[in-house]
Amino acid sequence: MTITQICKKRKVPIWLIAVSILMPTSFSALATTATNVAIPHISGYFAATADEAKWIVTSYMVANACMIMLSGWFEHLLGRKQFMKISVVIFTLGALICTVAPSLNMMVLGRLIQGIGGGPMTPMSQTVLLSAFPTEKKGLAMSLFGFAVMVCAILGPSFGGFLVDNLNWHYIYSVNIPIGIVSYMLICRNIEEAAPKINKPNMDFVGMTALILWLVSMQIVLDKGQQYNWFDCGWICWLSGFSLVVLTFLIVWEIENKNSFIKVRLFKDKNFFIGTIISTVVSMVVFTTMYLAPQFIQNILGYTALLSGLSMAPRVISCVIMLAVIPFLMRIYDSRLLIAIGFFFLGLATFMYTNVNLAVSFLFVSIPNILLGVGVILTFIPISALALGTLPKDQLANGASLHNFCKTIGVAVVVSMSSTLVARHSQIHQNYLVDNLSNYNLIFQQKMAGWVHTFMSGASSSFAINKANAYAYKQMITQSTLFAYVDTFAIVAMLAFILIPLPFFMKLRNK
């Protein structure tokens, strides 16, 4: 008996099924990106550096990626409804730990637990919606799914900024507690098991252990590399080598093992291989802007968390509009052309961030987000159809899990690498700019004389000189950090432009 038959028997409205499963899924997506605008506040609260605060984001993403790959096995082992209930409970428990965390380590643990609970929600919600909705309403089901996953994720910075400025950052996580309780009750009431599982699946414990060891070692290297100067540190070198060896073993093992849970052989399909690369890069480009832009806007431009989040809000509007338009465009135009145009919009929007300075307006910061919203939908929706469209039907679930896994890993990597780029390029620009802070520079002498004159009102000349020197140093740090963000956005934009031709190497489904 299918979910649809059970729901008809119990006369549960389809919309209620959608609400029951999409509520925890949407708030899981919100919690992921809402954290980005709160990073400066969280790091200040725990007296942590930016490198240490990075763990709050990457720990969630790595746990999320791991559970995406394991969700199919757990669903078969525990049953869909039971696994959904457990996932909601774990996610809510993680939110509770984040809310009351007395230290950064406990905060990271809470986010790790949240990632374990939130990871299975995306693939399971997609499965439930496709099972519950009739054939003629599959498109509506995927539109609701896309809204819950993509639009809510993009809405996260605005949502988080409102909570941080009007309440405090703890509410980003505490709001998930009542949502988790309500979601648990709705799942118990409205979602039923599709069919009892007679044969329990065999677990690939070797592969699972290798996956966990690789993800954990990779995360430690990425998060601690900048702090310990990467390969100048012995244990970073050893751990990097260990991570590479484990990854190699994992790939070989999953290729040769009959009971593998990561179907690496699916990459032999050209559409799936290229489509996964494109989706991963798109996720990396989008999340780089969602991770770095709020920090840049708050730390460099001095915006509040709310204004920082509102600058991202236009992305939501353009996404919603494009979600309504994209089915029509896909019927008229070649999907590969739409993806290429989407890459162009992503590259153009990210490149616009390279023109920022310390005097840009709120509108100037908001415009790139409109273009980003257009680019996200133009790439994500068509590529999902092309990447999975050539796979055998019995491998669609495995392909979807591997596809989402690669995107999540890409996001975890880009968070660490973008932070490293900002830190390293900031040091490079400091070396260039400090040459201008010289008594032999006439412009610097004029500026210093003006600052000293300003600070001398009601203070001694020695105090004014010291304060002027400190002010000059602060300006140099701000400018060098600004240039570092510009460099990072330029690199990401170049990556998007380079990949514009890649979609044309894919085959259309009807060929």
pLDDT of residue 135: 61
The residue with tokens 């509520």 is 23
pLDDT of residue 377: 82
pLDDT of residue 376: 83
pLDDT of residue 511: 43
Give me the mean pLDDT over the 404-414 stretch.
80
Extract the tokens encoding 466.
């010291």
Q: Domain-by-domain residue ranges, the chain?
A: 1-203, 204-260, 265-421+480-511, 428-479
Give me the mean pLDDT over the 300-312 stretch.
75
Instruction: Look at residues 500, 222, 144 and name the one whose alpha carbon lies nearest to residue 346.
Output: 500
**Is the pLDDT confidence value at 130 over 70?**
no
Instruction: Look at residues 154, 153, 128 and name the one whose alpha carbon lies nearest to residue 141.
Output: 128
What does the mean pLDDT of the chain come to?
Answer: 78
The DSSP-derived string for 351-403 is HHGGG--TT--HHHHHHHHHHHHHHHHHHHHHHHHHHHHTS-GGGHHHHHHHH
- CATH topology for the 265-421+480-511 domain: Growth Hormone; Chain: A; (1.20.1250)
pLDDT of residue 6: 42
Per-residue pLDDT tens digits for 226-247: 777 777 788 888 988 898 998 8
**Is the pLDDT confidence value at 4 over 50?**
no
Give me the mean pLDDT over the 448-457 stretch.
76
Going by the DSSP 8-state scheme, the letter that residue 103 receives in this structure is S
Distance between CA atoms of residues 272 and 253, nearest Å: 21
Which is higher by pLDDT, 108 or 326? Answer: 108
Distance between CA atoms of residues 489 and 352, nearest Å: 9
- CATH topology for the 1-203 domain: Growth Hormone; Chain: A; (1.20.1250)
**Is the pLDDT confidence value at 49 over 60?**
yes
